[in-house]
Structure 1
């Protein structure tokens, strides 16, 4: 199968592809979040220690990290539709495993399979959006897809906790099964309307992996993914100590950056399509570097909420333009190996998810949360400086030019 010219794809096909990917990402993140308030308690009832619960939650990121390159290669070789459907089957199997699990290691297997399914869904899904949208429209389309991620992240834990209280352990997974079935019907119907794509020659794909522009964005994605991971193990302790918040109150505050992220992502993507991806990403890095230390200094709940919203805006402004920028790096290499490109995105995101909590925990333990967040902001500013130096050394590169 030869690559598809985006000029031959109709707006109806583009919308069908975007709806498939947006719903797939929403379903994946919804299922990811539904289990968050349930698993620790259930795993504890099976005799799991706190360290084992950490392994349980970490198994998702490890599986995502390991499986993403495989699905990137496969989606470039055989097309996007197969991996998108495999990801759905993986989510269905995950649901059954969670329902049937009666030991800790069965829960780990289910969570790891969830990570494998996410690798298939995200890698092939984002590649499909890049396939069917021209460069000038990719930013907005990618931003809309990320809004599905934000919505799933926002609703998942709340729905999971509510259903657990209402109907016990099985209730959230019965809901997830119904959601997966709905997604399956829509995905199968809509994918028929979308042309499939395979990538260019393997040699082009390998040379693309040596692209300095792509490696630069790889680092930016690691930083963008590490931001929420820095907050999760450290900020709740401060919120409880300073404001006396309950877990429910802390959960409500954490919804603020997610909502801000979901709202800003499509706007940042559309703006980047006009102004260029890297200038918008740099603005997001400045916002984030300022917002991070402020989150450790908030003296009132209103100020804390405002700094969390600012952080969500920064995250969306970093990550949304990063997706089309990675696809653009492939285009400049003469390749349509978007599967490999977005497997790198998943790999970078997983790396950020894993390194963020580790560094934040160590720095907070030895120096306090204020120094930890200040150091995180300084790292972001240092990398921002690197992108500027890199750009000055390659003036006129396509990634620095305004997309027309």
Structure 2
């Protein structure tokens, strides 16, 4: 075809003045997130149901605290290893398969507990359960990142974390009642049933948010970047969030928070019974005050960092979390410690959603579950290191010194947080609210095409009013 004929075939062209962009369906996003939160709440309730039963069942099998410690360590190590692997899979094959597989394995593990007749079986099943829970969280947080707008990401992260916390608060109470009334099999059957209902709900109502089309588009983009040589020699580093100093600070904060909790909370259990001579009702009241403040705070205050910024809310939350340990070091009054526990719960309710939302803010879209898996690993590593330190130091450190150290550490964590998180961070991935660069490029390409056509056949160009 001649150049003249090619020009003549352009026909009548209308110059575009804007590009229509499809907005995310807010109703659908809200429905997916609410259903996901309900599914997670039911699952963690089932998880919490069996927590008070392990020690009693181990005593029946002739074992004690050593095996319980092995179960705790095996759970944390399995979650530490499984979380990043599950995150990679969730980015590659989608969130839904990982969520469904985790829920199905959760049901199977609880059925296995019913038939377990040795401590070795309990330790192995607990490790599998750690891998299951460690795999579930990166995928669910990936769903939040996929469908929640960036200006309400912390809000929905708080709702999801509130559902997790509510299950962990409610579950042990239900488990204790079932054990006393019906024996040790009942809590495990109830937990398996809760998991089965969660699995059915996820199958029916939780759709894939990282679709095959999205994954293929990102694969083609990555292939193009590799062909251009942009990622040669540094495949892993390019998948990490930017700025790296902020990502490293977030991992450190998550590790230290879990480390302090693991170190001080075990000491607190013995302290309130042996030194303060509390009853189980009083200790339950302390835990309930903390739990209610944390759950309600995550649901009601999770959105604060969306409006006030991640850094200031994280720092405020870190300072507030030190209240309970400072209270244990300074007071023996039950009402004072209840108040301190509520302040700590509210502080965690502020800090945790903001921390998770900041991970998602700075992570490329195609690597979000992978990064949340790394986050989960840092949390589990802290959960192992804290109790191990307490075991080593228990012979020479006093409860008072442990609480002072915990309070100081939590408050001091605000210093590196202030130094690194005060900088303004931007998401580097393409988000629903940050997709403007792609639209701008498309708009520019379209205007370039129209300009070329106008220069060739100006008589066929019309610009709408």
TM-score > 0.5 by shorter chain: yes
Contact 1:232 1:357 in 2 (8 A): no
Q: Distance in 1 between matches of 2:354 and 2:34?
A: 19
Q: Distance in 2 between matches of 1:159 and 1:371?
A: 35
Cα deviations by residue, 1:199-234 (Å, 9 ceiling, x for unpaired): 664967642436221111111222333344234311
Cα deviations by residue, 1:264-296 (Å, 9 ceiling, x for unpaired): 113332110011111100001111234422223
Pairwise CA distance, 1:33: 1.7
Q: Structure 1 residues 313, 136: CA separation in 2 closer, same or farther (over 3 Å shift)?
A: same
Match of 2:268 in 1: 235
Q: Distance in 2 between matches of 1:191 and 1:213?
A: 32
Q: Structure 1 residues 316, 185: CA separation in 2 closer, same or farther (over 3 Å shift)?
A: same
Aligned residues: 391
Aligned counterparts, 1:18-37, within 5 A: 18-37=33-52
Pairwise CA distance, 1:49: 3.5
Per mean C-alpha deviation after superposition, the further-off stretch among 54-63 and 18-27 is 18-27
Q: Structure 1 residues 161, 146: CA separation in 2 closer, same or farther (over 3 Å shift)?
A: same
Per mean C-alpha deviation after superposition, the further-off stretch among 321-330 and 184-193 is 184-193
Q: Distance in 1 between matches of 2:42 and 2:101?
A: 14
SS in 1 for 2:363: helix
Aligned counterparts, 1:190-339, within 5 A: 190-192=205-207, 194=209, 196=211, 198=215, 201=222, 206-209=237-240, 211-331=244-364, 335-339=365-369
Q: Distance in 1 between matches of 2:395 and 2:348?
A: 25
Match of 1:355 in 2: 385
Pairwise CA distance, 1:243: 3.5
Q: Structure 1 residues 291, 95: CA separation in 2 closer, same or farther (over 3 Å shift)?
A: closer
Aligned counterparts, 1:3-42, within 5 A: 8-42=23-57
Contact 1:28 1:118 in 2 (8 A): no
Q: Distance in 1 between matches of 2:132 and 2:336?
A: 38
TM-score, normalisation: structure 2:
0.78
Pairwise CA distance, 1:321: 0.5
Cα deviations by residue, 1:172-218 (Å, 9 ceiling, x for unpaired): 12212221222122111112375635466496764243622111111
Q: Structure 1 residues 318, 362: CA separation in 2 closer, same or farther (over 3 Å shift)?
A: farther
Q: Structure 1 residues 28, 135: CA separation in 2 closer, same or farther (over 3 Å shift)?
A: same
Q: Distance in 2 between matches of 1:256 and 1:336?
A: 39
Contact 2:297 2:346 in 1 (8 A): yes
Q: Distance in 2 between matches of 1:225 and 1:270?
A: 23
- Higher Cα radius of gyration: 2
Pairwise CA distance, 1:363: 5.0
Pairwise CA distance, 1:360: 4.5
Per mean C-alpha deviation after superposition, the further-off stretch among 269-278 and 54-63 is 54-63
TM-score, normalisation: structure 1:
0.89
SS in 2 for 1:102: coil
Match of 2:443 in 1: none
Cα deviations by residue, 1:10-52 (Å, 9 ceiling, x for unpaired): 1232123212431343234223321221111111221223212
Aligned counterparts, 1:47-66, within 5 A: 47-66=62-81
Match of 1:99 in 2: 114
Match of 2:460 in 1: none
Q: Structure 1 residues 13, 206: CA separation in 2 closer, same or farther (over 3 Å shift)?
A: farther
Q: Distance in 2 between matches of 1:28 and 1:386?
A: 35
Q: Structure 1 residues 391, 113: CA separation in 2 closer, same or farther (over 3 Å shift)?
A: closer
Matched, 1:382 2:412: yes
Match of 1:161 in 2: 176
Q: Which runs of 5+ in 2 are unaligned?
A: 1-20, 224-230, 428-432, 435-465
Per mean C-alpha deviation after superposition, the further-off stretch among 244-253 and 349-358 is 244-253
Match of 1:181 in 2: 196
Q: Structure 1 residues 306, 361: CA separation in 2 closer, same or farther (over 3 Å shift)?
A: farther
Contact 1:33 1:155 in 2 (8 A): yes
Pairwise CA distance, 1:307: 1.0
Q: Distance in 1 between matches of 2:83 and 2:132?
A: 10
SS in 2 for 1:48: coil
Per mean C-alpha deviation after superposition, the further-off stretch among 290-299 and 47-56 is 290-299
Q: Distance in 2 between matches of 1:346 and 1:195?
A: 20
